[in-house]
Chain A
Amino acid sequence: MTESAVKKVTEHSPEEIERVKEWINTEEYKEKNFAREALVVNPAHACQPLGAQMVASGFEGTLPFVHGSQGCASYFRSTFTRHFREPSAATCDAMTEDGAVFGGQNNLFEGLENAYTLYKPKMLAVYTTCMPEVIGDDLTAFIKNAKTAGHVPEELPIPYANTPSFNGTHIHGFDAMLKSILEYLTKDRKVEEKCTGKLNLIPGFDGNIGNLREYQHYLELMDIPYVMMPDISEVFDSGCDGNYKLYPGGTPLEEAAESINGKATIALQKYSTVQTMRLVNSEFSGVHEVMPMPMGIEKTDAFLMKLSELFDKPIPEALKKERARAVDAMTDAQQYLHGKKLAVFGDPDYLLGIVSFLLEMGAHPYHVVCSRATKKFKKEMDALLETSEYGKNCSVYVNKDLWHMRSLLMTDPVDGIIGDTHGKWAARDAGIPLFRIGFPIIDRVNLHRSPVVGYQGVINMISMIANKFLDIKDETCEDQWFEMMR
């Protein structure tokens, strides 16, 4: 290239910037944006091993173990730590170029031995990143060989899941790891005629510890013995008492092993538990139910009635009062939500729950966006919307991202967005509030401790949404409209 051919550093004119700034909010832009075939911009989902790590973290004494590239392990740990503001232990076997050539067996051997010696886990839960999946590592053989060669004791449980990131999302990795752990722990544990009398509760991929505690609260009030699988409630919400605990909680392994003889198994998410429930249906004793997340009154009612039916226990007075308080909160605040239009994005099961709640409140779910979902989900969501006049005119978009959602917000405005932190850019551009429900929430404190399921969840969601709309009114109204009461 000759000197004269070198281009000058350029700047855009203010007019050009202004033109594009307006243009990206137009219908014309929206059409172009929706015509995208290859580019994904601001997706609202993550990859499989993240979900697998959540499961691995939720079992007693279990160290999550990433087979593959080291950077992935750091990303997963950082993601959970930012969301929960809690430690998130996980290790990896750090495959590099030579692993790509020779396979990752030697890394796995060394990694398992070191992890076992240093961190003394009761179980190592292994899941994969893209790298070993592309080169085709055989984990069944590798783990068997590691035990045979004495790197880890024969009796140490090491379930594993294949969780390639180029397939599915974090909810599918959750499913794969949970299925694998349950399959491993319950093997040969089924005893005919034996019944633990317990409920196996599978909450699904849920970053809200408050939700898990709410389930526990119900089960304790109803005096139903249970085992939650996985149980991240203590793991990702452990107190600060001057002692760091590497394994602060999780589902006891023995209880998980006995879950195969349970009285009943309930999954409270459908799309994140498909494989697991397939296992449960074919192997586990008792009754098996897949229920929607209990968000809103009706779905909470259904959950409690199901518990009552399965365990032949009455719904206690205390819960009737909780229900009444939640309905009271709804009737008190309905005027602040009625008719509000909302865009909602997130994981399939969460979306179904949020939409149910909005419909009960008389709010309009208006744009529903799921950046990775099946047609089956869309059908289910459409059917849910059809149950209410408030679901009319709502459009459901699957496999569309948050940049698509931005176009929807700019061309067909709504009053607010419900979703995780990643929605904050779109919310800012549209000048509307973001109600943070989902995962991850990395820019506000304590929301992961505030349940959105059950009756308390109804109250919490109303407070969050209604009070924000009232704040906006107070902050933006002209002086003559500013008043004491709202």
Chain B
Amino acid sequence: MAERKPIEGVTIEKTEKLIEETLACMPEKAAKKRRPHVGANEPSASPCAVKSNRKIVPGVMSQRGCAYAGAKGVVWGPIRDMVHVSHGPIGCGVYSWGTRRNLMQGIPGVTSFPLDFTSDFQERDIVYGGDIKLEKLLREADELFPLNKGLSVLSECPVGLIGDDINAVTKKMEKELGKLVVPCNCEGFRGVSQSLGHHISNDSIRDFVIGKREFEEEVGPYDIALIGDYNIGGDVWAAKPILEEMGLNVKSIWTGDCEIEKIAATYQVKLNVIHCYRSMNYMCKVMEEKWGIPWIEYNFFGPTKIAESIRAIAERFDDTIKEKAEQVIAKYTPMAEEVIAQYKPRLDGKTAMLFVGGLRPRHTVGAYEDLGIQVTGTGYEFAHQDDYDRTAPEMAKGTIIYDDVSEFELERYVEEMKPDLVGSGIKEKYVFQKAGIPFRQMHSWDYSGPYHGYEGFKIFARDIDMAINSPTWKLVKSPF
């Protein structure tokens, strides 16, 4: 890939200086720990020099969540026909109830379960253990929500600390209920971020789900699974039709608006296409090793990357699919061009800084560029080295890359780089808006979406335009 055009005013020297000056405000030990996690981008560097997936530096105000958040919020929550039990005290389940926007079809409480199920641990459960309660609870849940296709048990901190054996309970209950009953030991103190929760959940799928069901119909040559799309704001509903128009059969989705039994049968597909590499690469690798299923990463943000991805996916199939792929691109490109014609004149030359999760800090860069916006800084809450290696070539030389950035740092980086837009999470949103800087939540699409696919690009362009060009920003400075 050709190296990105440099961005005016952005140089390695300036960025390095900014980083040094910022970290100099920290206690020595903290600065030393933080230094490897921030750098000026070298697009051709391999591996990327920015280090990741290390513990939070205590006290700096990281934006990270925990393993439970990664398991409940990301992987399990979107599976619509399962009862997901937040096993432990009351809080975790309440805070993660309905706060990720993984939309789902179905009748709530009947065939889909966007509810908060919890064991609401009390002191006595800590003292005597919660296994017996869990067993009873699973029975009650199955009786009251009989159309569930499975139950997951997501451990909160105390469960692991007191030595409960949820795996023994789920094993017993799977037998008794005749449904998938899945343990997930995702206590929040495990690991350094949400990321371990994704990994633990993938392992739970490997150990307790996949292979336990098979599809009713014959396996076809165009059967694929859509991996790592969580249907935030309806993303799956914008992405899946594109794959279907290409002639592919999307047999299961991991895990946005999906069904657990289809996940269990996914080992039968011919190809896994993966959007969020970070949260789901583990199972792609397992399916590749165990069932020989190849996998391919793709990017459905913005027409440039969408077209590239459609072609790359089609390459894995015969001419029928390749032809249809070209037809899909030909069909939607004029629509995308219309969107660009409408919004690019309003956004051209603007800059943005991002700080998000899984795939977006790199995957959305192309969509901004389609609109004429350059991304001058990006980073991840919980990425690993392989994410940063994939990020470096997407960013221009000298742009700032920050891993697990603290609020203190991000404020300073933004203050200095003066982007026209910050795209990050809810905790960061109002910090920047108070400073008069336009902002979009890029985890939840700021209660909008979808942003995936051609349909999503239309909405993305509208949203970015309205964030940057809202007349409200002009009123921030009082005339008196």
Tell me the smallest distance from the CB of A263 to a CB of chain B, in Å. 36
Are B66 and A17 within 8 A (Cβ)? no
With A70-B64, A112-B59, A131-B157 known as contacts, the answer to whether A244 contacts B431 (CB < 8 A) is yes
Tell me the smallest distance from the CB of B216 to a CB of chain A, in Å. 5
Tell me the smallest distance from the CB of A426 to a CB of chain B, in Å. 10
Tell me the smallest distance from the CB of B86 to a CB of chain A, in Å. 9
Chain A minimum-CB-distance residue to B107: A21
Residues of B within 8 A of A50 (CB): 91
Q: Which of A71-120 contact B (CB under 8 A)?
A: 71-72, 74-79, 81-82, 85-97, 99-100, 107-108, 110-119
With A9-B215, A38-B119, A134-B162 known as contacts, the answer to whether A166 contacts B190 (CB < 8 A) is no
Is the CB of A252 closer than 8 A to any CB of chain B?
Answer: no
Tell me the smallest distance from the CB of A161 to a CB of chain B, in Å. 15
Is the CB of B111 closer than 8 A to any CB of chain A?
Answer: yes
Of B89, B119, B214, most buried by chain A (CB within 10 Å of CB) is: B89
Residues of B within 8 A of A425 (CB): 108-109, 114-115
Q: Which of B181-198 contact A (CB under 8 A)?
A: 188-192, 194
Is the CB of A375 closer than 8 A to any CB of chain B?
Answer: no
Contact with A along B136-152 (1 / 0, CB 8 A): 11001101101101000
With A37-B136, A89-B407 known as contacts, the answer to whether A110 contacts B69 (CB < 8 A) is no
Are A12 and B59 within 8 A (Cβ)? no
Residues of B within 8 A of A479 (CB): none
Q: CA of A403 to CA of B97 in the docked complex: distance in angstroms? A: 14
Residues of A within 8 A of B56 (CB): 70, 92, 94
Q: Which of A231-288 contact B (CB under 8 A)?
A: 238, 240-245
With A87-B431, A429-B108 known as contacts, the answer to whether A38 contacts B216 (CB < 8 A) is no
Is the CB of A36 closer than 8 A to any CB of chain B?
Answer: yes
Q: CA of A129 to CA of B91 in the docked complex: distance in angstroms? A: 10
Are A111 and B58 within 8 A (Cβ)? yes
Are A24 and B478 within 8 A (Cβ)? no
Chain A minimum-CB-distance residue to B57: A114
Is the CB of A141 closer than 8 A to any CB of chain B?
Answer: no
Is the CB of A331 closer than 8 A to any CB of chain B?
Answer: no
Interface stretch, picked from B122-130, B228-236, B385-393, is B122-130
Residues of B within 8 A of A131 (CB): 157-158, 161, 188-189
Chain B minimum-CB-distance residue to A99: B189
With A46-B95, A242-B477 known as contacts, the answer to whether A96 contacts B192 (CB < 8 A) is yes
Q: Which of B103-125 contact A (CB under 8 A)?
A: 107-111, 114-123, 125
What is the number of residues of chain B that contact chain A, defined by CB distance less than 8 Å?
99
Tell me the smallest distance from the CB of B120 to a CB of chain A, in Å. 4
Q: CA of A118 to CA of B65 in the docked complex: distance in angstroms? A: 21
Q: CA of A120 to CA of B264 in the docked complex: distance in angstroms? A: 52
Is the CB of B29 closer than 8 A to any CB of chain A?
Answer: yes
Residues of A within 8 A of B91 (CB): 46-47, 49-50, 72, 75, 165
Interface stretch, picked from B240-248, B273-281, B337-345, B433-441, is B433-441
Q: CA of A256 to CA of B64 in the docked complex: distance in angstroms? A: 33
Q: Which of B20-38 contact A (CB under 8 A)?
A: 25-27, 29-30
Partner pick for A100 among B99, B117, B189, B259, CB 8 A cutoff: B189
Are B189 and A114 within 8 A (Cβ)? no
Q: CA of A107 to CA of B110 in the docked complex: distance in angstroms? A: 45
Tell me the smallest distance from the CB of B149 to a CB of chain A, in Å. 8
Interface size class of A (residues with CB under 8 A): 35 or more
Are A21 and B216 within 8 A (Cβ)? no
Residues of B within 8 A of A110 (CB): 29-30, 57-59
Q: CA of A43 to CA of B149 in the docked complex: distance in angstroms? A: 23
Chain B minimum-CB-distance residue to A75: B95
Are B116 and A43 within 8 A (Cβ)? yes
Residues of A within 8 A of B67 (CB): 71
Is the CB of A179 closer than 8 A to any CB of chain B?
Answer: no
Are A9 and B157 within 8 A (Cβ)? no
Residues of A within 8 A of B126 (CB): 134, 166
Contact with B along A125-152 (1 / 0, CB 8 A): 0000111001100000000000000000
Partner pick for A111 among B59, B162, B411, B435, CB 8 A cutoff: B59
Q: CA of A243 to CA of B434 in the docked complex: distance in angstroms? A: 6
Is the CB of A20 closer than 8 A to any CB of chain B?
Answer: yes
Chain B minimum-CB-distance residue to A36: B140
Partner pick for A82 among B60, B192, B426, CB 8 A cutoff: B426
Is the CB of A169 closer than 8 A to any CB of chain B?
Answer: yes
Tell me the smallest distance from the CB of A135 to a CB of chain B, in Å. 6
Are A117 and B188 within 8 A (Cβ)? no
Partner pick for B133 among A38, A43, A81, A167, CB 8 A cutoff: A38
Are A403 and B211 within 8 A (Cβ)? no
Q: CA of A130 to CA of B97 in the docked complex: distance in angstroms? A: 19
With A114-B30, A115-B59, A244-B434 known as contacts, the answer to whether A74 contacts B116 (CB < 8 A) is no
Are B116 and A118 within 8 A (Cβ)? no
With A41-B117, A43-B120 known as contacts, the answer to whether A8 contacts B27 (CB < 8 A) is no
Contact with B along A143-177 (1 / 0, CB 8 A): 00000000000000000000011110100000000
Residues of B within 8 A of A89 (CB): 61, 407
Chain B minimum-CB-distance residue to A79: B95
Contact with A along B417-460 (1 / 0, CB 8 A): 00000000011011111111000000000000000000000000
Residues of A within 8 A of B156 (CB): 130
Residues of B within 8 A of A78 (CB): 95, 99, 426-427
Residues of A within 8 A of B191 (CB): 96
With A47-B89, A85-B430, A115-B59 known as contacts, the answer to whether A9 contacts B99 (CB < 8 A) is no
Q: CA of A100 to CA of B55 in the docked complex: distance in angstroms? A: 15
Q: CA of A17 to CA of B25 in the docked complex: distance in angstroms? A: 61
Is the CB of A40 closer than 8 A to any CB of chain B?
Answer: yes
Q: Which of A432-457 contact B (CB under 8 A)?
A: 442
Are A12 and B140 within 8 A (Cβ)? no
Partner pick for A240 among B115, B429, B433, CB 8 A cutoff: B433
Q: CA of A352 to CA of B79 in the docked complex: distance in angstroms? A: 39
Residues of A within 8 A of B119 (CB): 38-40
Are A243 and B435 within 8 A (Cβ)? yes
Is the CB of A395 closer than 8 A to any CB of chain B?
Answer: no
Q: CA of A165 to CA of B108 in the docked complex: distance in angstroms? A: 28
Are A39 and B144 within 8 A (Cβ)? yes
Tell me the smallest distance from the CB of A441 to a CB of chain B, in Å. 13
Q: CA of A112 to CA of B429 in the docked complex: distance in angstroms? A: 25
Are B411 and A244 within 8 A (Cβ)? yes
Are B214 and A91 within 8 A (Cβ)? no
Of A50, A86, A244, most buried by chain B (CB within 10 Å of CB) is: A244
With A92-B58, A110-B59, A111-B59 known as contacts, the answer to whether A10 contacts B261 (CB < 8 A) is yes
Are A129 and B99 within 8 A (Cβ)? no
Tell me the smallest distance from the CB of A2 to a CB of chain B, in Å. 12
Is the CB of A485 closer than 8 A to any CB of chain B?
Answer: no
Tell me the smallest distance from the CB of B473 to a CB of chain A, in Å. 9
Q: CA of A351 to CA of B474 in the docked complex: distance in angstroms? A: 42
Residues of B within 8 A of A29 (CB): 144
Tell me the smallest distance from the CB of A449 to a CB of chain B, in Å. 15
For the complex of A and B, 9 pairs with smallest distance between CB atoms: A71-B66, A47-B91, A114-B59, A111-B58, A111-B59, A165-B89, A75-B95, A115-B59, A38-B137
Name 22 interchain pairs, CB-CB below 8 A, sorted by A.
A17-B107, A17-B147, A38-B119, A38-B136, A39-B140, A39-B144, A41-B116, A47-B89, A68-B157, A69-B157, A71-B64, A72-B91, A81-B430, A111-B59, A113-B27, A114-B27, A114-B30, A117-B25, A166-B122, A242-B436, A243-B434, A422-B97
Known: A79-B95, A166-B88. 4 other contacts (CB 8 A): A7-B212, A32-B144, A77-B427, A241-B476
Residues of chain A having any CB pair with chain B under 8 Å: 1, 6-10, 12, 16-17, 20-21, 24, 29, 32-33, 36-43, 45-47, 49-50, 65, 68-72, 74-79, 81-82, 85-97, 99-100, 107-108, 110-119, 129-131, 134-135, 164-167, 169, 238, 240-245, 372, 403, 406, 422, 425, 429, 442
